[in-house]
Structure 1
Amino acid sequence: MYLGIDLGTSSVKAMLIDDRQTVIGSASSKEVTTHRPHAGWSEQDPADWIRATEEAIAGLKAAHPEAFASVSGIGLSGHMHGATLIDAEDKVLRPCIMWNDTRSHREAAALDADPRFRAITGNIVFPGFTAPKLAWVKANEPDVFGKVRKVLLPKDYLRLWLTGEHLSEMSDSAGTSWLDTGARRWSQALLAATDLDESQMPGLVEGTAVAGRLRGEIAARWGLAAGIVVAGGAGDNAASACGMGTVREGAAFVSLGTSGVLFAANGRYLPNPESAVHAFCHALPDTWHQMGVILSATDALNWHSRVTGASAASLTGELGDTLKAPSGVTFLPYLSGERTPHNDAAIRGVFAGLAHESDRVVLTQAVLEGVSFALRDSLEALKAAGTELTRVTAIGGGSRSRYWLASIATALDLPVDLPADGDFGAAFGAARLALIAATGANPADVLTPPATAETIEPVRAHSAAYEEAYQRYRRLYPAVKAAMG
C-alpha cells in the first residue's frame, strides 16, 4: 500500500492506493484556517498543517485499518511558494507567508529588475514566489530574518516533521525564484541576492526519489513500520499532473481549484518569462512543464456565492446545461491580483456592462466567462512560449459544472476531456510517486493517464460571440489599471 498526503490550501487529504494503483480510500481534515491580518496578506500556522495531517490519517486509518497497516511508501504534495521559516532548533519563526500573499510586490519588482533572476530561473519574480517574501521579512522583520536557518516549502515542513530531514524536490523548488531551473540546482548567485546561502536551503532530490524515512515515533503512533520510504513528491500542480498522467510532451490539463491552472508537460526546458508563463521542473527527472496561473478560479465563484448568499452549486445550476452566448456583462476575476499574463498584484476585479436587466444569473454567467477568458489568456501565453495544445483534461472542483466546462472549451477553442470516475488529483499523484520511490518502478509504467469518460466540445454556434467577448475582456484590463492609478 502507498500513502499520498496532499497539503491543500484549505485542508489536508490522505489517500491510500494498492500495488495496482486502485484507490482503497481517502480522508480529509477539517478546514485549515487562513489568516488575513492586512490587505493582501495570507498566512497559515504550520502547526495547523500537522494537526490537519493527523486528522486525515486518523480518518483513513479508521476506515481502512488493515490496508493502512500495510503502507510501505509515502508521497507528499502541497501548495507551493509558501515561506516556512525555521530556526536552528527546527522551530517555526513566524506564520507561513502563503502563495496568494501579495505583500512583497515591491520586493518582487526589485528582484525582477535584476536580469539574473529571469535568466537563471526562467520566470518572472512574482510576488507570490518565495524569494521576495524573504526580502520582505529582511526589511520588515529583521530579527526573524537573522534567525532563519532553513527556508522550507509547506509540504517540506511536513517532511521535516515526518522524517527529520531538510529536503525538497525540483518541481516545488522551481517556484522559489532561487532555483536554476534548467540545471535543477540552487543558484548561489540568486540566494546571495537575497542575503541567503545554500546552507539555508533544503537538499534537493527528484520527486520520484527517496527523500527521507518515517520517524519511529510517528510510525508507532500510526501503527506503521519505522523507516518507511518518503518520496520527494511534488508541488500541487506537478503532483496533479502525475495523478493525471500529464507527464509526456503535449499532454495538458486545466485545473479549476481555488486558483486556475493551464498546465502543459514539456520534454525540454522552454522558458519565456516575458509571457508570464511559469516554466518549472516537473516531478520526473529531465522533464519540465509550463503553467499559466490565474489566482482566482473557483475562488471567484465562491466570492460571488458569499455576496449573493446562494451556494456555488445553486448559482451554476441556475444557468442550466446549455451554454449561452455572452450577455455583454464582463467580469475580470482579479480579486487577489493576477499572475498570467499581467504579473499585477495591485489590479482588482470588476463587473463591466451592468444594466437594469443584469440579474443574478447574468452575473454568475459573467463570473464563469471571466475565469474562462483568464484561462484563454494563459493559453495565448503558452503559445507565445512555444507550446501548442490540441486538447486539455479538466480537473478540480469547478470541473463538476458542465456549463463551466463548455464555456472553457469554447473560450479556448479546444476539446475538454473529462476523466473516467476516480480521483486523479494531487493526493493520487503523491501516492503514485510513493510507489515509484518505494519499488523503483519505471515512472512511464506508473504515471499513465486515466480513461476519458466524456469530451466537452467547443460550442461552435457561440464561437464568434465568445471571441468578441474575449476581445472586450482583454481591452478592460488596461482601462481598469489606468483608472486604479
Structure 2
Amino acid sequence: MYIGIDLGTSGLKALLIDERQRAVAEETIPLTVQRPRDGWSEQDPASWIAACGEAMRALAAKADLGAVRGIGLSGHMHGATLLGADDHPLRPCILWNDTRAHEEAAALDSDPQFRQITGNIVFPGFTAPKLLWVAKHEPDIFAATRKVLLPKDYLRLWLTGRHVAEMSDAAGTAWFDTGRRCWSEALLEATTMDLSYMPDLVEGSEVSGTLRPDLAKGWGLPEGVVIAGGGGDNAASGVGVGVVKAGQAFVSLGTSGVLFAASDAYQPDSASAVHTFCHALPDTWHQMGVILAAADALNWWGRVAGADASALTGALGPVRAPGRAVFLPYLGGERTPHNDAAVRGSFHGLDHVTDRDAMTRAVLEGVTFAIRDSYDALTSTGTRIDRLIAVGGGSKSDYWVGAIATALNIPVEIPQAGDFGGAFGAARLAMMAATGAGAEIATPPDIARTVEPAGDLTEAFAEGHARYRAAYTKPRN
C-alpha cells in the first residue's frame, strides 16, 4: 500500500491506495491563508505539520497501515520557507500567490541569464525574488537564514530529517537550471546565495529518505517506509491523471487555473510567459499556462452574490454565446500570458439587463478566455495538445467544461468518478520509488464522457475572447 500527501493552499490531503492503485481511505484537513496586506499571502509552516499529523492519524483510524511501503509528497509550489540553523522557520512562508516581490522579480528578470538558464520569466510568485524582498525588508531574518525549502519539502524534513527537493518543484524557484536538472550556482550568486542554502535533489520517482521510526510507530506503519521525491502540485497531478507523454494535457480548475502539457524534450519559450518546468519523472518536462484565480474567482463571485458557487453554475443550462458582460479574473494579478502583478479583476460591458446569471456566465467565460490565452501561448511554442482531460472542482460544472471545449475548439474528457489529483500522483510516485516501477503505471483514468465543442458557437466564443483581450488593454488604475 502507498500514501500520497498533497499539501494544498486550502487543505492537506492524505490518500491511501492499494497495490492496484485503488483508493482505500483518505482524509483532508483544512488550512487557512493569512493576507496581512494587499497582494500578500502567507501560511505558518507549523500548520502543515499539525495538519499532516492529524491526517495520518485519521488514516490510521480508517485502515491498517501496516502494509504501507512508501509515501509520496505533493504541494503548492514557489513558497519561501526560511529556516534558521536549528531548522525552525524564521517567519511565515511566503506563498505562490504572493506578489509583494514584483520589483525584485523585475530586477532579476532584467538579467538575461535568468531566462536563459531557467527557461522562464522570473515571476513575482517565484521563490528567488522573495528572498531579495526579505533581504531588503527583513534583513535580520535573511541574515539568519541557513536553508530555503519549498512547502512540501518542509514536510519532508519533518518526516525524514533530510533537506531534499525534487526537480519539478525546484524548477519553479528561479535558481534552477531546468535543462540540466540541477541548481544553478550562477543564479544563486546573483541573489547573494550559494549551494549551501539549497536542499539536495532527487527525481520525483526516487527515494528521498525513510520515515522517522517514531512517526512510523505512532501511525502504525512499518519501519523503513520510503519517502519518494514526489512533485510540485501540477506535476504530481500530471502523474495522477496520466499526462506524462507529449500530446497529453490536462486543464485544472482549482483555486488557480492550469493548462498543463507533457513534453519529451526541454523546449522553453519564456517570452510567452509559459512555464517550462521539469516533470516529476526522469528525462521529462512539461509546459503550462497558469492563471492565478479560476475556481477562486467563482468562489469570490459566490460570496459577493450571496449564493453557493455550485448553485450559481447549476442554474445556467447549456452553453450559450458569450454576452456583453466581460469579466477579467485577475483578482491577485496574472501570470500567463501577461505577467502582470498589478492588474486586478473587473467587470466590463454591464447594462440594465445584466442579471446574476449573466454575471455568473461572465465569470466562467473570463476564466475560460484566460485558459484560451494559455492555450494560444503553449501551442505557439510548438507544444502539441492531442488529448485534454479536465480535473479539479470546477470541472463538475457542465457549463464551464463546455465553454472551455468551445473556446479551445478541442474535445474535453471527463474522468470517471475518482481522485486523480496531486495526492494520487504522489501515491503513484511512492509506488515507483518503493518498487522500481516506471512511468508505465501512470496511466490515464477511465473516461466517463467527452464534452465536444459547440460547433455553432465557436465563432461567438472567438469574438468573446477578442472582447476579453480588448478589456485587458484598457487603462487601469
TM range (shorter): over 0.9
Q: Is the 8 A contact 2:247 2:387 kept in 1?
A: no
Q: Measure the CA separation in 1 of the matches of 2:321 and 2:436.
A: 51
> Aligned pair 1:165/2:158, yes or no?
no
1:325 shift after superposition: 1.1
Q: Quick one: which of 398, 402, 414 aligns to 2:410?
A: 414
Q: Measure the CA separation in 1 of the matches of 2:384 and 2:347.
A: 31
Q: Measure the CA separation in 1 of the matches of 2:195 and 2:67.
A: 37
> Aligned pair 1:106/2:103, yes or no?
yes
* Counterpart amino acid of residue 184 in structure 1: R
- Per-residue CA deviations over 1:411-430 (Å, capped at 9, x if unaligned) read 11110001122111110000
Q: Measure the CA separation in 2 of the matches of 1:55 and 1:457.
A: 42
Structure 1 residue aligned with 2:376: 380
Q: Quick one: which of 296, 300, 307 aligns to 1:299?
A: 296
SS of the residue 1:89 aligns to: coil
Structure 1 residue aligned with 2:149: 152
Alignment of 1:325-404 (within 5 A): 325-404=321-400
Q: Measure the CA separation in 2 of the matches of 1:444 and 1:38.
A: 43
SS of the residue 1:239 aligns to: helix
Structure 2 residue aligned with 1:450: 445
- Per-residue CA deviations over 1:20-56 (Å, capped at 9, x if unaligned) read 1111121111x21100001100000000001111121
Q: Quick one: which of 454, 458, 463 aligns to 1:459?
A: 454
> Aligned pair 1:86/2:86, yes or no?
no
1:101 shift after superposition: 0.2
The percent of aligned pairs where both chains have the same amino acid is 63
Alignment of 1:54-133 (within 5 A): 54-64=53-63, 66=64, 68-133=65-130
Q: Measure the CA separation in 2 of the matches of 1:156 and 1:388.
A: 32
SS of the residue 2:331 aligns to: coil
* Counterpart amino acid of residue 32 in structure 1: L
Q: Measure the CA separation in 1 of the matches of 2:251 and 2:242.
A: 13
TM-score for both structures, normalised by structure 2: 0.99
SS of the residue 2:247 aligns to: coil
Structure 2 residue aligned with 1:10: 10
Q: Measure the CA separation in 2 of the matches of 1:394 and 1:183.
A: 31
SS of the residue 1:54 aligns to: helix
Q: Measure the CA separation in 2 of the matches of 1:80 and 1:175.
A: 7
Q: Measure the CA separation in 1 of the matches of 2:364 and 2:54.
A: 34
TM-score for both structures, normalised by structure 1: 0.97
- Per-residue CA deviations over 1:352-376 (Å, capped at 9, x if unaligned) read 0001111100000000000000000
Q: Measure the CA separation in 2 of the matches of 1:8 and 1:200.
A: 24
Q: Quick one: which of 262, 266, 283 aligns to 2:263?
A: 266
Q: Measure the CA separation in 2 of the matches of 1:186 and 1:483.
A: 38
1:69 shift after superposition: 2.2
Q: Is the 8 A contact 1:28 1:55 kept in 2?
A: no
* Unaligned residue ranges in structure 1 (runs of 5+): none
SS of the residue 1:240 aligns to: helix
Residue correspondences, number: 477
Structure 1 residue aligned with 2:39: 40
- Per-residue CA deviations over 1:365-389 (Å, capped at 9, x if unaligned) read 0000000000000000001222132
SS of the residue 2:208 aligns to: strand
* Counterpart amino acid of residue 207 in structure 1: G
Q: Is the 8 A contact 1:329 1:362 kept in 2?
A: yes
> Aligned pair 1:242/2:239, yes or no?
yes
Q: Is the 8 A contact 1:28 1:59 kept in 2?
A: no
Q: Is the 8 A contact 1:131 1:177 kept in 2?
A: yes
Runs of 4+ more than 6 Å apart? none
Q: Is the 8 A contact 1:277 1:385 kept in 2?
A: no
SS of the residue 1:390 aligns to: strand
Q: Is the 8 A contact 2:390 2:412 kept in 1?
A: yes
Structure 2 residue aligned with 1:425: 421
Q: Quick one: which of 179, 182, 191 aligns to 2:179?
A: 182
Q: Is the 8 A contact 1:341 1:378 kept in 2?
A: yes
Q: Measure the CA separation in 2 of the matches of 1:224 and 1:43.
A: 32
> Aligned pair 1:215/2:212, yes or no?
yes
SS of the residue 2:375 aligns to: helix
Q: Measure the CA separation in 2 of the matches of 1:391 and 1:446.
A: 19
Q: Measure the CA separation in 1 of the matches of 2:411 and 2:427.
A: 29
SS of the residue 1:414 aligns to: coil
* Unaligned residue ranges in structure 2 (runs of 5+): none
Structure 2 residue aligned with 1:52: 51
- Per-residue CA deviations over 1:54-78 (Å, capped at 9, x if unaligned) read 12112222111x2x22111000000
